[in-house]
Amino acid sequence: MRASELYAPTLRESPAEAELLSHKLMLRAGLIRKAAGGMYTYLPLAWRTMKKIMQIIREEMDAKGGQEIMMPVTQPAEIWQESGRWAVYGDEMMKLKDRHGREFCLGPTHEEMVTTLIRGEVRSHKQLPLMLYQIQNKYRDEIRPRFGLMRSREFVMKDLYSFDKDIDGMNISYKKMYDAYSKIFTRCGLNFRAVEADNGAIGGGHSHEFTVLAPSGESSIAYCENCDYAASDEKAELKVIKAEVEELKPLEKVSTPNCHTIELVKNFLNVPIEKTIKAVAFQDDDGRLILAFVRGDHEVNEIKVLNAVEGALHLHMAEDSAITAVGSCAGFMSPINLKDGAIIVADSTVMEMYNAVAGANEVDAHFINVTPKRDFPAEKIIVTDIRMVQAGDPCPHCGAKLKMTRGIEVGQVFTLGNKYSKSLNATFLDESGKETYFEMGCYGIGVGRTMAAAIEQNNDADGIIWTRAIAPFEVVVVPVNAKVTEQLEYAEKLYDELKSAGVDVLLDDRKERAGVKFKDCDLIGYPIRVTVSPKTLESDLVEIKIRKSGEVSNFNRADCTAQIKNLLTQL
């Protein structure tokens, strides 16, 4: 490919619409252009990279027995109504009607599609396991698309769906995909972690998110440097912290004027923050009041609270009226002496406290010498882990201190069990001739997001730094002055030679000044730049610059192709 024919409109300044570094770089380097909010055109450079990522994905999927198929993007409403998700997905789904008024959606995912595909056709356990995958556009009408390709409304996604005859088989498929994902992201040159994730209401399963570590990421994860434990902040398990046993002192009410935050109480009463109990009030969709209590220096993990309360689907902050209804008041809540009607959830660590400070359920007053085991016994309340992980908390596997970081979720593996086979009535006959639901799994990778994450993780002030495996071109050959026939011809020969040697190479034959071309090369981020100039040409040398390290060296023309191929293996 010749740069003079390549459509890669680079920009000197970055458009105002971009905030995120990878988004800016993709616009500046001529990788993408926006068509509408959350919808992008992938220009040749981006598409080359995406094709390479997709190829890596295909190879690893196929290696595990996956078979690629192509399904319609437009899906009939019926199958979604059948699974019950037409309403669940709600406004997040792009919906449309055909000329007859029949309803469709643009698929946000394809569980319904693939399950109805095999239903009735895969009839025997002998046909299992089965793994089908697709790489295609998916649609999600995000409330707020942002960050360029990170959160867009139309995106390229790989999804593989596994069908097994039983849970054991499903777990084997899951493991295969977990391994494949590790290989894929390693091959893409990404620094990532497989993070234990919440798989919500779907029972019986596991889920891992594959998260690329980057400070700009949307998800917050806790990880252990000592072992391989990593979990999303919402999921991270925490063990009870036991306080030193103390002699119990009698409960006492004290005046604490205007001390409606933990910080104020702590200072006013001059107690350590670890000896205070913090309260957060929620209500669920049915209006039930849920009071959550954690130690003063901890934060409440809403997801854990939600999971702890039977029947709760969503939580929101409680209305003041609901709090007063149970005889308490905001800022001074505690589980002591409350009227009936509140669901009380206490963090396990709270139950281990002695002689602590908690609200007195009246304005400007707190209890001191609160000992939860004595003053609000565990029998009447829910006691479990509901705190949000913090840096320094002990790892649940090995006990070492956890670290916190941010990341970009680029893939997720998920067991589904029989959720969809059941709701869509997809069965086969097992060994004993019994009709059985498929045990399924689904495994997604955001292709565009993977590209964006790679840029987010690998860049410098001059631009993108591609890993060789997913670079739009591996090598760029630059004659410093393409108007000089001698240089151009020399560069062309080199280019032909590299091409024949199987190198993915671009010839920058544009009649631009050297500075312009160099800036573009750095911005676009080709791993290796080969420069042809009068300086080196005379002595039959070629100059090779490594984008990542900035290292420049000269090689003899005769063996430079071999040298380049060798260098590429390290990039």
Partner RNA sequence: CGGGGUUUAGCGCAGUUUGGUCUAGCGCGUCUGAUUUGGGAUCAGAAGGUCGUGAGUUCAAAUCUCACAACUCCGACCA
Q: Which residues in this chain contact RNA in the complex, by CB under 7 A? A: 10-17, 19-20, 28, 34, 36-37, 92, 109, 143-147, 200, 314, 316, 409, 412, 414, 444, 446, 462, 480-481, 483, 513-516, 518-523, 531, 533-536, 543, 545, 552
Shortest gap between Cβ of 306 and RNA (angstroms)? 9
Concatenated DSSP letters for 242-292?
Answer: PPPP------EEEE-TT--SHHHHHHHHT--GGGBEEEEEEEETT--EEEE
Q: Which residues pair with 144 in a beta bridge?
A: none
For residue 287, give Cα distances in angstroms to 138, 313, 322, 409.
Answer: 36, 11, 8, 33
| Closer of 474 and 522 to RNA (Cβ) | 522
Angstrom distances, CA of residue 361 to CA of 34, 255, 259, 325: 54, 12, 13, 11
Q: How far is the CB of 153 from RNA (least distance, A)?
A: 9
Which residue type is seen at 381? I
Q: Is the sign of the CA dihedral 25, 28, 33, 36 positive or negative?
A: positive
CB of 517 to RNA, least distance (A): 8
Q: Least distance from C-beta 537 to RNA, angstroms?
A: 8
Looking at the Cβ atoms of 23 and 278, the one nearer to RNA is: 23
Q: How far is the CB of 401 from RNA (least distance, A)?
A: 26
Kindly list the distances between the CA atom of residue 27 and the CA atoms of 149, 150, 262, in Å, as whole numbers in the listed order: 11, 14, 46
Could you tell me the two tokens for 528?
A: 């290796």
- From the CB of 281, what's the least distance to RNA, in Å? 14
Least distance CB 362 / RNA (angstroms): 29
Q: How far is the CB of 111 from RNA (least distance, A)?
A: 9
Bridge partner list, 357: 276
For 310-372, strand residue ranges (E) read 315-317, 342-347, 356-359, 365-370
Q: Which residue has the tokens 């912290």?
A: 241
Q: How far is the CB of 77 from RNA (least distance, A)?
A: 17
Q: Which residues contact 337 (CB under 8 A, 6 or more apart)?
A: 327, 361
As measured in angstroms, the least distance from the Cβ of 376 to RNA is 27
Nearer to RNA (CB atom), residue 180 or residue 383: 180
The token duo for 554 is 């000269």
Closest by CA position to 328, among listed 293, 285, 377: 293
3-state secondary structure of 461: coil
Which of 224, 544 has the CB closer to RNA?
544
Which residues are within 8 A (CB) of 352 and not within 5 positions of it... i.e. 6 or more apart?
A: 240, 241, 242, 243, 372
Among residues 4, 169, 158, 79, the alpha carbon closest in space to that of 517 is found at: 4
Cβ proximity to RNA: between 153 and 275 the closer is 153
How is 435-447 classified by DSSP, letter by letter? EEEPEEEEEEEEH
